[in-house]
Amino acid sequence: MYRNSLAQLPAPGNLKVHLYNAQQALSWEPVSLDSDPRPVVYQVQYKYSTSSNWYDVNKEDSKVDCTNLTRTECDFTANSLSEGFPRRFNISLRVRAKLGGLVSAWATAPWFEHYRNATIGPPENIRVTPEEGSLIIRLSAPFDVPATEAYFVYCVYYWEKAGAKQARACSSFNFITLNDLKPLRVYCFQVKAELFLTKENISRPGHLSNISCCETAADASVKLQQDFLAAGTTFLVLSVVVGSCLFLVLRYRGLVKPWFHSPPRVPPQIEEYLKDPAQPILDALDKDSSPKDDTWDSVSVVTFPENEQEGSPQSTLNQSAGPSHQPTEGVLCAKEAATCLSGLDGAT
């Protein structure tokens, strides 16, 4: 900070022009008077190398008002390509301090051209997509530039994480493909943007990005091996589980067997007896247990004397309904008629 005990206002000192990507700003050290507590204001002007006239940095010309600043910085960064100072022109800036009726001398900053003097930062929005044996890196420019004035070239420096050998791949597009990489390996990389002027053989190298790492995807053969390995592992696990269960069942089948049988039930006769102990046990057992009557068939067997049977069997059969030829024996057969008939033949 510059101070002066006399009624003389010193000029601002230590002027610095900040040019980083699209940023443009001028800063300086503050000025003050011990005898005057009022705030000091600052005025900034600019001019092009092709002109001898100085112009105020105001909203009309540069969209920024730096004519009566109380801070010690004038930020004239453009919000668009159509605003701010032209980046391909040589520009000079100067600043002075004012306090009431006192005005300091002008302090002038060195000439600068944005494209030649700006610090280029690393690319932005870096994204990585792993592929089979490759990595696709997508990015965006550090700042926008008109295609008629300049363009960027992007370079990727990459290496296998387990190794130390470094490779390089460059492209003027917003994506870079790293080919011929080993599948399922981790690769690390850094990206740098370099600014080239379209009409001049001039370039401005940028800064490297932070180190990023990514694993490549598996190719078809590795995927097939993984599938076989997964299937084999699943089969082995299932075999172990099924074998263990079978061994336990055979080993402890005496303990397991009751689990698969329903518990014994008390017969209904015993259950009724238990409900009414006064009832005789035999009556309780015989209740509702009497066998049902079987179905019987009635069969009549008729026999005749031998002399009549030999003489006229036909007439005898026709007169079997008369009183003198009643059946000599009638038998009731149960269920099977053949058994009954064989018994009757023995009797005759």
Give the mean pLDDT of 276-288.
Answer: 58
pLDDT at 338 over 60: no
pLDDT at 14 over 50: yes
As given in the structure block, the two tokens for residue 4 are 């002066």
Reported as half-sphere exposure (CB side, CA atoms, 13 A), residue 203 has a value of 8
Give the mean pLDDT of 187-198.
Answer: 95
Give the mean pLDDT of 239-258.
Answer: 74
Find the radius of gyration of the CA atoms of the chain.
58
The burial class, CB within 10 Å (0-12 / 13-18 / 19+), for 224 is exposed
As given in the structure block, the two tokens for residue 328 are 């000599």
Give the mean pLDDT of 38-51.
Answer: 92
pTM of the model: 0.59
- Please state, in angstroms and rounded to a whole number, the distance separating the CA atoms of residues 72 and 28: 6
What are the start-end ranges of the H helices in 252-334? Answer: 253-256, 268-275, 281-286, 306-311, 313-318
- Please state, in angstroms and rounded to a whole number, the distance separating the CA atoms of residues 278 and 268: 16
| Fold adopted by 13-116 | Immunoglobulin-like (2.60.40)
> What does the pLDDT read at residue 345?
47
CB neighbours of residue 40 within 10 Å: 21
The burial class, CB within 10 Å (0-12 / 13-18 / 19+), for 144 is exposed
> What does the pLDDT read at residue 334?
42
> What does the pLDDT read at residue 163?
81
As given in the structure block, the two tokens for residue 64 are 């920024």
> Residues 195-218: pLDDT tens digits?
999 888 889 999 999 999 999 988
Query: What is the percent of the chain with per-residue pLDDT over 70, rounded to a whole number?
Result: 67
Determine contact, residues 103/9, Cβ cutoff 8 Å.
yes
> Residues 150-177: pLDDT tens digits?
999 999 999 999 887 889 999 999 999 9
CA nearest to 22, candidates 69, 81, 66: 81
HEC string of 62-106 equals HCCCCCCECCCEEECCCCCCCCCCCCCCEEEEEEEEEECCEECCC
Q: Which of 35-44, 54-63, 225-234 has the lowest mean pLDDT?
A: 225-234
> What does the pLDDT read at residue 281?
58
> Residues 311-320: pLDDT tens digits?
444 444 344 4
- Please state, in angstroms and rounded to a whole number, the distance separating the CA atoms of residues 137 and 121: 17
Determine contact, residues 42/102, Cβ cutoff 8 Å.
no
Summary mean pLDDT of the chain: 78
Residue type, position 131, single letter: E
> What does the pLDDT read at residue 329?
42
- Spell out the domain ranges in the chain: 13-116, 124-219
Reported as half-sphere exposure (CB side, CA atoms, 13 A), residue 243 has a value of 6
- Please state, in angstroms and rounded to a whole number, the distance separating the CA atoms of residues 114 and 92: 11
| Fold adopted by 124-219 | Immunoglobulin-like (2.60.40)
pLDDT at 101 over 60: yes
Residue type, position 103, single letter: V
The burial class, CB within 10 Å (0-12 / 13-18 / 19+), for 53 is exposed
> What does the pLDDT read at residue 286?
56
> What does the pLDDT read at residue 120?
96
Distances in whole angstroms, Cα of residue 17 to Cα of each of 66, 74, 174, 195 = 15, 10, 30, 20
- Please state, in angstroms and rounded to a whole number, the distance separating the CA atoms of residues 12 and 21: 26
Listing DSSP states for 124-158 in one string gives EEEEEEEEBTEEEEEEE-SS---TTTEEEEEEEEE
As given in the structure block, the two tokens for residue 116 are 């030649």
CB neighbours of residue 70 within 10 Å: 9
Give the mean pLDDT of 72-81.
Answer: 82
